[in-house]
Structure formats: structure tokens, C-alpha cells
């Protein structure tokens, strides 16, 4: 088992404090001087030149103070466990109409429209019914339905899931088309060739598949869809025939590995395929089908077991990738304290080995 790495005080406390710890709770505890750290001095030695441990009270500005494996942290006099607890992750089948902003509630009529066991006025109350310290991992906009992950003690895994390029997410999108031959080959190519430029930078899809096409026929001025038989008869209104129009729609399966704000809708709009309905069907190897089965409905939730969480880790590159990123971050600390030097040395050696391997290949 690899030796634990130094960790920022805020991350250390929030992942170990019993009952979960929101940022606001941590700020209160830190500001009231309730966190104490039993640690070596910054130079690693006491005044007598020997190793000695002293207890200090964490100050309000020390949220990023490094906690080393040999340090002990106390909150209200009680020691925090040295090992971080296992991740707790839930998969949610998010309904359309619920915002991922934890302070925004849906209208009462929306909650009443769901079955009793699936009624949630907002995401915060939904999380509270599952576990008090859950936080969403990534987001879906208010109108989008589908798979949403929420985690507790999952900071490392969360950072990899939301990092662009590491994990693929799959969506089903119903788009409006101007003609029956849309989406065209050119539109599909534009979605995947990486040449799209949005306001916040380039964007592309990994894969786009046309699942179905449909033509809907409506009376002008009415939202009522006509059957093909009724439209063929040209039902009359008054003295003249009813005016009808056709609406062309397609259902696309889209896979992306980026997670910017409303990115799927904006990509589709950029190629003149406005999105009418959007559902996220999979995150990595986890999908609505294998989590909820054929009877899954919006409003359902399930806790991931250990095997499913390990699958998520594998999808994002494993815990080894997180450790490499952590070590790399340590090398960027200016004027590192003496206790940090051995870790910086290990990280530097690893970077040099990677450069050497690339140059030989």
C-alpha cells in the first residue's frame, strides 16, 4: 500500500468529519478556532534539534495548510480518523424540472405530478433524504433528465469525473430538423471534426448516431397532431381546407467527454439542430439501464456498490492517476517547507522518468 500524501487542511477535515462537512460548516469550525493540529514544526525539528510534536490551533487563513501523514487533527478535542472513509455515491434518475442549484426549488405543482415515492421539491431535499453530506458530481440543466451522480467523501473521484477528456457521457437528444433529410452527413461531420467554435472555446462530440427520424403533421394554429389519415383527407374548417404543416424530428445518440454549461444543446444549435428534449443515458460504464433496469423512472435513486464505484475509478484512469496529479500539484508549491521536500523529489523523479520514456519512444 502506498504512503498517503500531504493533504490540505480543508480537504482533510471535510472528508473525515463524522456526519459530513459542507464548506460553510468547515468555515465556521475553522473561524471559531475549534481545529487543533498535532504536528512537527515546519522545519521538521523542535528547538532542541530533535523531532518533537507540538499542538497548534489552526487559524482562519490556514485552510490550505498541509497535513502530513504523521500529523494528528482534532476537532472539538476529538481526533479525526487517519484514513479517509470510503466514497458514498448515489446514482439519481433526475426528472426534468429540477435544478442542480441546491437553493432553487421546483414549483409545488411539479412535485405533485410525480408519484409519492419520487416527489422531490429540489435537489437539496432529495440529497437530504439519501445522506446529509451529498453533493452532485457534475450537473444537468433544469430541462434535462437522466443520470446524475452524487457523492460523499468522493472529492478525488469527483475531480476526475468532471475533468475534460477523462470520462465519456452519453445522451439521447430529440432535435428539430428543417427537412426530412436532416441531419445531413455534413452536420454529423461538423459535430465530430473538432472545428466547432463556441463562445467558451472549441467543442466536439466523440460519436453521434442517428437513432430514428419522424415526421409530425399539425393543423396550423393548433398543437394537436393529426394522424396521417386525417391529414390526407385535408379536414375542412369553414369553407376551405384546414391548413397543416409538417415538423421533422430526429433522435440522436451523442457521446462527449467535456462537461461545460449546456454543452450538448449549444453544440447542436451550432449546426442548426435545435434540441427539444435531452436525456443523459450513461456516465462511463454506468447507464440508466444497468442501474435502474427497464422499469426505471425519473425520481428513482440507487446507491452504488463497491464494484460499481471501482468501475468508475477504472473509467477515469484509476487511483494511480489521482496520485500522480496530487504529486504534480505538490511540485508547484512555492518555497516548500522542509517536510515537503521528499514528496517533491519523488514527484520530480516520476516526471523525469515520463519524459525519458517519451523521448525513447
Q: What is the average pLDDT across 334-359?
A: 68
Instruction: Provide the sign of the torsion angle of the four alpha carbons 266, 316, 82, 348, taken in this order.
Output: negative
Q: What is the pLDDT of residues 174-226, one digit of tens each?
A: 999 999 999 999 999 999 998 999 999 999 999 999 999 998 887 765 555 55
Higher pLDDT, 246 or 204: 204
- Whether 43 has a pLDDT exceeding 60, the answer reads no
Residue 115 buriedness (CB in 10 A; 0-12 / 13-18 / 19+): exposed
Within 10 A of 105 (CB to CB), how many other CB atoms are there? 17
- Whether 359 has a pLDDT exceeding 50, the answer reads no
Q: What is the rounded CA–CA span in Å between residue 208 and residue 250?
A: 12
Q: In percent, how much of the chain has pLDDT > 70?
A: 79
Contact status, residue 303 vs residue 90, Cβ threshold 8 Å = yes
Q: What is the pLDDT of residues 61-98, one digit of tens each?
A: 888 888 988 889 999 989 998 877 778 899 999 998 88
DSSP string of 203-217?
E--SEEEEEEEEEEE
Which SS3 state, helix, strand or coil, does residue 187 take?
Answer: helix
- Whether 117 has a pLDDT exceeding 60, the answer reads no
Please give the grid coordinates belonging to residue 13.
477535515
Q: In percent, how much of the chain has pLDDT > 90?
A: 37
Q: What is the rounded CA–CA span in Å between residue 23 and residue 51?
A: 34
Which residues make beta-bridge pairs with 238? Answer: none
DSSP class of 340: G
Per-residue pLDDT at 120:
66
Per-residue pLDDT at 110:
53
Q: What is the average pLDDT across 112-119?
A: 56
Q: What is the rounded CA–CA span in Å between residue 232 and residue 244?
A: 10
Q: What is the rounded CA–CA span in Å between residue 260 and residue 202?
A: 11
pTM over 0.85: no
Contact status, residue 296 vs residue 279, Cβ threshold 8 Å = no
Amino acid at each position: 500500500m502506498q504512503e498517503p500524501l500531504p493533504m490540505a487542511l480543508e480537504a482533510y477535515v471535510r472528508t473525515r468529519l463524522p456526519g459530513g462537512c459542507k464548506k460553510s460548516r468547515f468555515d465556521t469550525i475553522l473561524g471559531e478556532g475549534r481545529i487543533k493540529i498535532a504536528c512537527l514544526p515546519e522545519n521538521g525539528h523542535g528547538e532542541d534539534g530533535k523531532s518533537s510534536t507540538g499542538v497548534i490551533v489552526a487559524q482562519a487563513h490556514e485552510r490550505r495548510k498541509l497535513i502530513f501523514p504523521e500529523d494528528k487533527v482534532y476537532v472539538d478535542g476529538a481526533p479525526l480518523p487517519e484514513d479517509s472513509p470510503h466514497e458514498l455515491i448515489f446514482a439519481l434518475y433526475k426528472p426534468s424540472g429540477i435544478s442542480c442549484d441546491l437553493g432553487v426549488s421546483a414549483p409545488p405543482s411539479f412535485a405533485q405530478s410525480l408519484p409519492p415515492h419520487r416527489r422531490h421539491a429540489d435537489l437539496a431535499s432529495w440529497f437530504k433524504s439519501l445522506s446529509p453530506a451529498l453533493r452532485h458530481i457534475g450537473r444537468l440543466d433544469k430541462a434535462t433528465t437522466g443520470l446524475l451522480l452524487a457523492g460523499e467523501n468522493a472529492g478525488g473521484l469527483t475531480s476526475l469525473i468532471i475533468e475534460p477528456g477523462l470520462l465519456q457521457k452519453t445522451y439521447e437528444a430529440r432535435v428539430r430538423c428543417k427537412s426530412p433529410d436532416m441531419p445531413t452527413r455534413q452536420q454529423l461531420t461538423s459535430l465530430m471534426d473538432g472545428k466547432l467554435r463556441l463562445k467558451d472555446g472549441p467543442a466536439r462530440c466523440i460519436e453521434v448516431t442517428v437513432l430514428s427520424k419522424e415526421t409530425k403533421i399539425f393543423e396550423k394554429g393548433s398543437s394537436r397532431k393529426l394522424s396521417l389519415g386525417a391529414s390526407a383527407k385535408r379536414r375542412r374548417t369553414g369553407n376551405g381546407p384546414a391548413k397543416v404543416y409538417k415538423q421533422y424530428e430526429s433522435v440522436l445518440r451523442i457521446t462527449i467527454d467535456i462537461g461545460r454549461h449546456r454543452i450538448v444543446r449549444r453544440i447542436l444549435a451550432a449546426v442548426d439542430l435545435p434540441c427539444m428534449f435531452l436525456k443523459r443515458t450513461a456516465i462511463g460504464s454506468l447507464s440508466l439501464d444497468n442501474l435502474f433496469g427497464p422499469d426505471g423512472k425519473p425520481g428513482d435513486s440507487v446507491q452504488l456498490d463497491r464494484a460499481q464505484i471501482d468501475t468508475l475509478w477504472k473509467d477515469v484512469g484509476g487511483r494511480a492517476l489521482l496520485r500522480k496529479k496530487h504529486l504534480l500539484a505538490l511540485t508547484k508549491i512555492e518555497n516548500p517547507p522542509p517536510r515537503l521536500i521528499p514528496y517533491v523529489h519523488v514527484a520530480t523523479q516520476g516526471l523525469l522518468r515520463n519524459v525519458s520514456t517519451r523521448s525513447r519512444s
